[in-house]
Structure 1
Amino acid sequence: MKKLLLATLLLLGIVTTASAQLPKVMLKSIDGKSVSTDTLSNNGKPFIIDFFATWCKPCNRELTAISEVYEEWQEETGVKVIAVSIDQAQNINKVKPLVDNHGWQYEVLLDPNSDFKRALGIQTIPYVIVCDGNGKIVSKHNGYTEGAEEELIEEVRKLVNK
């Protein structure tokens, strides 16, 4: 009985995660424009949301590793990366110089109060969400190890080749 209950709960968790929409939170872009997170999209193609902070070394390594192959990913799948900084208000001024120094070509949003992070139930960063072309969350990952970006593009490829 316990095994059946556990299996049911796990299946419900997978189904819930797989079909979850992005919550509505108002953020600012790195250029100061207001953005509602429930409208994030990529013209019907998959997109990746990567939560980071300027002080988070694994976050910066992950975004740099993706940056090195990002152009190839875009050509192959049309994927877009949206980087969301959770730096607090007093450190927001460090985000743009970091992005510029690394040459990251991502859409960058600012979540200084961690409202979006909290709405998604995220505890630690780096944290990556893969969304399908309809904005539904299809997978989530936290932490970064070298080479993990290959797992991300594989998930995107599966969405594109459905």
Structure 2
Amino acid sequence: MNKRNFALAIVALLVGIFLVNLFQDQQEKKEKEEAAQLAKESMDLSNAAAEEGLSKGASAPDFELTTLNGEKVKLSDYKGKKVILNFWATWCPPCKAEMPHMQKYYEKNAEKENVEILAVNLTSMDDGKDKVQEFADGYELTFPIPLDVDGAIGEEYRAFTIPTTYMVDTKGLIQHKIVGPMNEDMMAEMVSGMD
């Protein structure tokens, strides 16, 4: 009787392990499909953005903002470089998830890929310059952080869901719009595909 109970317990354990593995495989497959769908949707510019002159191949609207470090930056000053133009806020969980990836990408690729990151803080929607500085220090961010104090640039770029990122080529033309967080691989793939 003990051998039979032991055998049944082993069989039950094996069936349980099989079912757990099957469930995990299905979850991973579902997550990968959802991520692929999100990436596909994000890479396509929305119709609303296209109506606002933010479609692929359009000139990225120029702006001038003051950075967290007190320097004035104009988007047009970066012609000749590829620009990752990111819109974010300190309270945004996906922005927090994305920032370490952006910093790592920037450290590895800024010079060799001729790319600049402009991480425009939507200061008008955020908790003040001190919080932005605290955030930048906490994540050890070294790329420029322009401050959109009145919200006009975020509105012009239709950054209503954040993070929102535009990939701008060396001629100042929009190549991609991404709504949601990116990782290093996504940034590398999009930047390498631009002139």
TM-score, with structure 2 as normaliser: 0.65
Within 5 Å, give how 1:146-161 maps onto structure 2.
148-160=183-195
Asked if 2 retains the 8 angstrom alpha-carbon contact of 1:83 and 1:107, the reply is: yes
Instruction: Give 1:19 deviation, angstroms.
Output: 1.8
Q: Provide the residue aligned with 2:65 in structure 1.
A: 27
How far apart are 1:86 and its partner, in Å?
A: 0.4
Q: 1:77 aligns to what SS in structure 2? A: coil
Aligned to 1:74: 110
Measure how far apart 1:123 and its partner are: 1.5
Query: What is the aligned partner in structure 2 of residue 41 from structure 1?
Result: 78
Matched residue type, 2:189: E
Aligned to 1:85: 121
CA contact (8 A) 1:22 1:136 kept: yes
The equivalent of 1:58 in structure 2 is: 94
Amino acid in the other structure paired with 1:153: A
Q: What is aligned with 1:113?
A: 150
Q: Distance in 1 between matches of 2:97 and 2:54?
A: 30
Q: Does 2:138 match 1:101?
A: yes
Q: Distance in 2 between matches of 1:21 and 1:49?
A: 13
The CA distance in 2 between the partners of 1:115 and 1:143, in whole Å, is 20
Which 10-residue stretch deviates more, 68-77 or 57-66?
68-77
- Report the aligned-residue RMSD: 2.4
The amino acid that maps onto 1:142 is V
Cα separation, partners in 2 of 1:77 and 1:144, compared to 1, 3 Å: same
Return the index of the structure with the highest Cα Rg.
2
Deviation at 1:117, TM superposition (A): 0.9
Equivalent position of 2:31 in the other structure:
none
Residue pair 2:68, 2:129 contacting (<8 A) in 1 also: no
* Match for residue 175 of structure 2 among 138, 144, 148: 138
How far off its partner does 1:75 sit?
4.4
Larger relative contact order, structure 1 or 2 (CA cutoff 8 Å, min sep 6): 1
**Deviation at residue 52 of structure 1 after TM alignment:** 0.8
Percent identity among equivalent residues? 26
Does 56-65 or 72-81 show the bigger shift?
72-81
Runs of at least 5 residues in structure 1 that lack an aligned partner in the other structure: 1-9
Rounded Cα–Cα distance in structure 1 between residues aligned with 2:175 and 2:116: 15
Equivalent position amino acid for 1:144 in 2: P
**Within 5 A, what are the aligned runs for 1:120-135?**
120-135=157-172
TM-score (norm 1): 0.77
Count of residues in Structure 1 that have an aligned counterpart in Structure 2:
145
